[in-house]
Structure 1
Amino acid sequence: MAVEYDCCGVEFFEHVAIIVVLVLFAGLMSGLTLGLMSLSLVDLEVLAKSGTPQDRKHAAKILPVVRKQHLLLCTLLICNSAAMEALPIFLDSLVTAWGAILISVTLILLFGEIIPQSVCSRHGLAIGATVAPVVRVLVWICFPVAYPISKLLDYMLGDGHVALFRRAELKTLVKLHGNEAGKGGELTHDETTIIAGALELTEKTARNSMTPLCQTFAIDVNRNLDRILMREILDKGHSRVPVFYEKKTNIIGVILVKNLLSIHPDDEVPVKNVTIRKIPRVTEDMPLYDILNEFQKGHSHMAIVVKKNIYRDRKKIQDLSLDIDVDQKPVDKMVKITKPLHRWKSYPNSQISSRGNRVRRWSRDSAANVLHINDTDLQPFNEYEEAIGIITMEDVIEELLQEEIFDETDVHEDQ
């Protein structure tokens, strides 16, 4: 009798141990299903590259396991279901049928669902990294059953679950991470404003940021640099002054004010005899990012915005630039429209874009961008060309910062 009692006691404790293992195993699978599947590949890649040292280590261990999400999901669910189905079998040998059902439901609900999912939802990264080798083994064990089901899910639902945010969603996400939102974020007001401005910049064009031509200061190429004109230039305080011919909508170039330092007002030097640099032209619907990329090259920090609908064909838009045909004899000099000297490579409708390209540079030297004009050489320019505004690098930066930039010469009233 003693031996039979010992055997029954050993069998009883074996069943209890198996029940405990099954409950813990089912809880682990349930927690991992929530913890690992809630981590998107984008989140893990961000943590692996820019998280804390501990998060980087955890994310690096989890990424290879999570890449095939449907295969991982099928493996975890199969293991969880197997554990829950085996639990009543061992309970039935210890208690009655209704007792086995009651105990199994209680154990699975409390220790197999609620507690594991609560813990893994908060510490899923650390737990997933710890049990990643065990999950790899389970994937290989369940592979014959899980792989066909996962391939079917890939075919029906798609292979990837990359959760990338749109620009509007990113702006909202950035605002929520600001310290002004009251949610514990660390981003300051300036940081959230600049990030939002960078996201909005791709939707804005030259027309949104330009200064209308009626509000700009420009000088006639036929005027003389007398005291009156020099005083006007100094009062405006600009570093660059556009130059027009015949009418203000016919901008032919720009003068750098620093080049006028050596000119005496009493000499009344004609404007056309000083160094006039060619000024690029952009269409009104040209994106600000393309304009910023061209400004970064350093050949010009100012551009003329022209109307798009006044061109008769696409070729005129692509060939819109000034070219100077300078011969050795002064009498042969003239200004005319020919092929472009430095056409911007990001014109609308062009197949070539320089966005994001930081290594491309203009092949001409700075002297090629200078106009050389004689008294009798000025002729009317293309009749289909009409300037409507001026855009500068400062205008683009203001759109990026979403704030006005005031320099020493700006006058503004406090409200």
Structure 2
Amino acid sequence: MDLQLLIRTGSDEERADALKVKPLIENQHLLLVTLLLCNALAMEALPLFLDKVVGPLTAIALSVSLVLVFGEVVPQAVCSKYGLKVGALAAPFVQLLVTVCYPISFPIAKALDALLGNDHIALYRRKEFKALVDMSEEQGLLSYDENTIIDGALDLTSKTVLTAMTPLEEVFMLSEEAVLDASVMEGMMSRGHSRIPIHASGDRQTVIGLLIMKNLIAYDPEDATPVNVLPKRQLISVNTSTEMYGMLRIFKENNSHLALVRSEAGSIMGIITLEDVLEELLQEEIGDETDPSVNSRSAVQRQLWSARLAGVQTKEGRSQDLI
């Protein structure tokens, strides 16, 4: 897997070296058997050769020392830091060894393939990948925000809408019998919601549509427009077992920001919004235009509405005084 990453994301030199090594390790068992076979032959031949040059005891001492230094310590020390470069330089020679030892190595390699399989790509499990991301943050390779978003994205598949939804009893809704007079509009604005579900008269379990607050700026509270004649959007519904990650796709496909959460029996349990999903992704609360610190167009609209409502209430007060 490391070679695949280098081929995709490494520098030009790293890509070139990785491409030289890649053909050799595609058949891992053949390469392993070849290298071990050559290593065994070298270790057995070295004492026999030295025994003819020097005495037996000296031959043993030299062979052990040479194998230890040049067969273990030096290669591992060098390859731990320059493994890719050494592998690329040695690739032609190793390929020659594979060809020479093929008659012996191939049957053993095929037997290992049959016993162990030939797919040994090491992939990270979800928890291991999260730990790797945490380590990258600790070493300064990722920022805290990047780490948080990656962790949140990985957790989305293990969370359902039930963990982030707003229960039905806490949802602000309007009855279809309501009228948009000054008191109703003031109540809607005080809550700061951009979308308000509309339910059937006396039945919060029957939601008939979604009222978009920004569309109400054109309506005058003095007209007391009935809610049931206002344009409303249809609401989508999901069940309680829907994954949070799946909600992103559902909201995108339906061009929606709010959905009803229903139980297996079909009753409404609550609502889930796009903001709820994003908060789970970012793992923190998202401030919106209802926060005092935020200055936005919606805040200006609320000020205009407040001024309009104040005017209506003043007129109503004067009328009562006259009466």
TM range (shorter): 0.7 to 0.9
> What is the one-letter code of the residue matched to 1:227?
A
CA–CA separation in structure 2 for the residues paired with 1:228 and 1:275: 20
Equivalent residues in 2 for 1:281-360, closer than 5 Å: 281-297=237-253, 299-308=255-264, 310=265
Task: Say if 2:104 is the partner of 1:145.
Answer: yes
CA–CA separation in structure 2 for the residues paired with 1:149 and 1:50: 35
**What is aligned with 2:47?**
88
**What is aligned with 1:38?**
none
Contact residue 213 and residue 388 of structure 1 kept, 8 A: yes
**What is aligned with 2:77?**
118
**What is aligned with 1:229?**
184
| CA shift for structure 1 position 89 | 2.2
| CA shift for structure 1 position 406 | 0.8
Q: Secondary structure at the match of 2:198?
A: strand
> What is the one-letter code of the residue matched to 1:407?
D
> What is the one-letter code of the residue matched to 1:236?
R
| CA shift for structure 1 position 411 | 6.7
> What is the one-letter code of the residue matched to 2:177?
N
Within the candidate set 204, 207, 215, 1:251 is matched to 207
Task: Say if 2:113 is the partner of 1:154.
Answer: yes
Q: Secondary structure at the match of 1:297?
A: helix
> What is the one-letter code of the residue matched to 2:281?
L
Q: Cα gap change, 1:214/1:268 in structure 2, threshold over 3 Å: closer, same or farther? A: same
**What is aligned with 1:72?**
31
Q: Cα gap change, 1:153/1:103 in structure 2, threshold over 3 Å: closer, same or farther? A: same
Task: Say if 2:92 is the partner of 1:133.
Answer: yes
Could you tell me which runs of 5 or more consecutive residues in structure 2 were left unpaired when the two chains were aligned. 294-323
> What is the one-letter code of the residue matched to 1:263?
Y
CA–CA separation in structure 2 for the residues paired with 1:45 and 1:140: 25
CA–CA separation in structure 1 for the residues paired with 2:125 and 2:86: 31
User: What TM-score, normalized to structure 2?
Assistant: 0.87
| CA shift for structure 1 position 53 | 2.7
Q: Secondary structure at the match of 1:222?
A: coil
Task: Say if 2:165 is the partner of 1:210.
Answer: yes
> What is the one-letter code of the residue matched to 1:205?
T
**What is aligned with 1:7?**
none
Contact residue 250 and residue 386 of structure 1 kept, 8 A: no
Q: Cα gap change, 1:197/1:43 in structure 2, threshold over 3 Å: closer, same or farther? A: same
Within the candidate set 72, 84, 101, 2:60 is matched to 101
| CA shift for structure 1 position 298 | 5.2
| CA shift for structure 1 position 122 | 1.9
CA–CA separation in structure 1 for the residues paired with 2:118 and 2:244: 36
Q: Secondary structure at the match of 1:304?
A: strand
Task: Say if 2:288 is the partner of 1:407.
Answer: yes
| CA shift for structure 1 position 60 | 1.6
**What is aligned with 1:396?**
277
For residues 311-370 of structure 1, the C-alpha deviation after alignment (integer angstroms, 9 at most, x for no partner) is xxxxxxxxxxxxxxxxxxxxxxxxxxxxxxxxxxxxxxxxxxxxxxxxxxxxxxxxxxxx
**What is aligned with 1:163?**
122
Contact residue 206 and residue 288 of structure 1 kept, 8 A: yes
**What is aligned with 1:52?**
11
**What is aligned with 2:234?**
278
CA–CA separation in structure 2 for the residues paired with 1:403 and 1:53: 40
Percent of paired sites with the same residue:
46
CA–CA separation in structure 1 for the residues paired with 2:69 and 2:222: 96
Within the candidate set 224, 231, 256, 1:268 is matched to 224
For residues 49-107 of structure 1, the C-alpha deviation after alignment (integer angstroms, 9 at most, x for no partner) is 01233222211211111111111001111111111211122211211122211211111
CA–CA separation in structure 2 for the residues paired with 1:230 and 1:43: 60
CA–CA separation in structure 2 for the residues paired with 1:251 and 1:126: 66
> What is the one-letter code of the residue matched to 2:280?
E
> What is the one-letter code of the residue matched to 1:387?
I
| CA shift for structure 1 position 185 | 3.4
For residues 217-269 of structure 1, the C-alpha deviation after alignment (integer angstroms, 9 at most, x for no partner) is 11001111111111111222221111111222322210111221221111111
CA–CA separation in structure 2 for the residues paired with 1:114 and 1:62: 22
| CA shift for structure 1 position 48 | 0.9
CA–CA separation in structure 1 for the residues paired with 2:75 and 2:164: 55
> What is the one-letter code of the residue matched to 1:389?
G
RMSD (CA atoms): 1.4
**What is aligned with 1:386?**
267
CA–CA separation in structure 1 for the residues paired with 2:121 and 2:62: 41
